[in-house]
Amino acid sequence: MRPSPSGVWLAAAIMLVLPPAARPAAGQEGAVAGLENIGAADDAYHYPAWRDARHDAFYTEWWYFNFHDPRAGVDCIFSYFVTNPEDIGGLAQVQMVAVAYTAAGTVTAIDRHPAADFAADDRQADVRIGGNSARVDADGRYHITGVSHDGRLAWDLEYVADSVPWFGGDRMPVGRLAWEKMSWLVQMPRARVTGTVTIDGRPHAIRATGYHDHNWGEWIPADGTWNWAQFSSPRLALEVGDFIGKPIGVVALDLDGARTVFTPDQYSLVHTRWGWDRVNRLFFPTESLLTADNGALRLEVTLRALKTEPLRGDLPRPLKDLIIYEQTARYDGVVRGWVAGEWRVRAWLRGMGLKEWTGKKY
């Protein structure tokens, strides 16, 4: 659930001149956590299906990828992002965002591109932003490439799905207004990632676990802030999509090939420790406790942030600025199952993952 952080939300400045939208049709009021069959078009470009000349300037879509490679000592995220694709009011934002966490420090690129640099296919996840691209090969493998404007980051990676995709939400009501909706597809809860990432001129051979998801929809930026988290191991994959201050969201656990989705009334996410961002003058969570229980499975996990990169989006007043805190995190927890009248350990969660928290300020 990670949009590009900087001027991307400037389309909000023209919100007052747009006519109000009618409520969505019946059956589009925010279905959550679908496990139905998912095809190539589900991960493709969705704007053609949303275009209606009502809130097109607020339309936002991104394809997100990450990996964790302890052998190479590198964690990375990549986001191919567009908002206001038809450049209404000249306020389109096309961005390529990449963050590389290493022992030597963090390298971040938030690169803006002209609207003409963006292209995407509505049949499969083929996306281009200037010289950066994501494409789906004939065998279903994903190939992502790119280079930052300053040349400090470059990547050439292949993603192979190692788990079954699922819908985290279909037109979820993320805002105050009826038309503010977001969809979320977790295309690769766990992936095998190979290739090369070059950081400050040094190439790193990558053989890692990774993740890929995809978000799209229409909403006012400050209306849809979130907690997001992701972890995987050979036996399980965990995803959290929680919207701050709203009774929507999901926690999904894939254990030994069987997926359980916890609804908002079945999980709790509590931030137990906070850090201070001196530049943006905001507190951000550094430790969180996630619990979930549906009567058959119980999840308890602590998320401890290790490296934090604040990505700031500057919005025109009176809108609030958005700060997206991209974090690597240590996951420690347990999954228990209810068996013969008692809770028994099914699996342990121990290892590295990623997480996000979004804050807003004037």
Residue 53 CB burial class (10 angstroms; 0-12, 13-18, ≥19): exposed
pLDDT of residue 16: 28
Mean pLDDT to the nearest integer, 231-248: 95
pLDDT digits (tens, 9 = 90+) for 304-328: 999 999 997 665 566 667 899 999 9
pLDDT of residue 314: 61
Mean pLDDT to the nearest integer, 187-210: 98
pLDDT of residue 220: 85
pLDDT of residue 221: 79
Mean pLDDT to the nearest integer, 61-84: 97
Mean pLDDT to the nearest integer, 58-67: 97
pLDDT at 30 exceeding the cut of 60: no
pLDDT of residue 267: 98
pLDDT of residue 8: 38
Mean pLDDT to the nearest integer, 235-262: 95
Mean pLDDT to the nearest integer, 232-246: 95
Q: Quick one: which of 171, 199, 200, 204 has its CA closest to 185?
A: 171
pLDDT category, 28, cuts 50, 70, 90?
A: very low
Tokens linked to 233: 């191991």
In Å, how far are 119, 245, 283, 321 from 276, measured between CA atoms?
39, 21, 5, 17
Percent share of the chain, pLDDT over 70: 88
Q: Is the link from the previous residue into 203 a cis peptide, with omega within 30 of 0?
A: no
pLDDT at 18 exceeding the cut of 50: no
pLDDT of residue 222: 80
Mean pLDDT to the nearest integer, 8-32: 35
Domain ranges of the chain: 7-21+42-361
pLDDT at 145 exceeding the cut of 80: yes
Mean pLDDT of the chain: 89
Mean pLDDT to the nearest integer, 328-355: 97
Least confident of 70-79, 130-139, 199-208, 218-227: 218-227
Mean pLDDT to the nearest integer, 53-73: 96
Compare 14 and 181 and report the one with higher pLDDT. Answer: 181
Mean pLDDT to the nearest integer, 323-352: 97
Phi-psi region of 26 (alpha: psi -120 to 50; beta: other; left: phi over 0): beta
Contact (CB, 8 A) for 144 and 153? no
Compare 119 and 20 and report the one with higher pLDDT. Answer: 119
pLDDT of residue 15: 32
Tokens linked to 143: 């190939």
pLDDT digits (tens, 9 = 90+) for 149-167: 999 999 999 999 999 999 9
Least confident of 30-44, 149-163, 173-187, 243-257: 30-44
pLDDT category, 174, cuts 50, 70, 90?
A: very high
pLDDT of residue 37: 83
pLDDT at 171 exceeding the cut of 60: yes
Fold classified for 7-21+42-361:
AttH-like fold (2.40.370)
pLDDT category, 223, cuts 50, 70, 90?
A: confident
- At 94, phi and psi to the nearest 5? -120, 120
